Amino acid sequence: MTLELAYWIALGFGVGFLLLSLLLGDAFDFLNFIDLDIGDGFAATPVLFAAIAGFGGGGLLAVEALGVGPGVSVVVGLGSSVVLGGLAAGLFAALAKQESKETFTTGQLVGARGTCTLAIGPGRIGRISVQHAGMTRSYSARSSEDIAVGDDVVVLEVAGDSLKVGSVATAASDPST
């Protein structure tokens, strides 16, 4: 087997498995025994596959485009492997920082203000939208009073997936709610 063929195999293996790992997500979790902990809570396998592809691509570039010998092409391949692996690690670290560290529960909405989007009344379930943690969320809601579309509401309690709400005016005048 020639060195050029080895580069092609490394490039194909690296790119192929990198794409598979990105498309299939946790399919390569069995490789965690390698213990490549590079921090920030992301999987190291895509970084490994990017580095393998970088080795193959860098080696091929050195042999084909630059016309260097086998020793130099291996050094160029290793260098591009480190660079591509580092770029992949930086990219995945940035993506991991974008993930939410907090979990959200509807219980956090008690006391929050929202807007009625489907009329609510005694015995009738309606809908409200609530702005929470930078997102607008929509919930089924019930109330012991009539609340029209567009009225401001306050969340009084949570019952399963539904919220018990009251109008802001009623909640402000009646501190027991």
Q: Does the pLDDT value for residue 107 go beyond 90? A: no
What CATH number was assigned to the domain covering residues 106-173? 2.40.50.140
pLDDT digits (tens, 9 = 90+) for 109-119: 899 999 999 99
Mean pLDDT of 124-147: 90
Q: pLDDT digits over 56-72, tens only?
A: 999 999 998 888 888 99
Q: What is the DSSP string of 10-71?
A: HHHHHHHHHHHHHHHSGGGGGGGGG----STT--SHHHHHHHHHHHHHHHHIIIIII---HH
Could you tell me the residue ranges of all domains in the chain? Answer: 3-98, 106-173
Global model pTM greater than 0.85: no
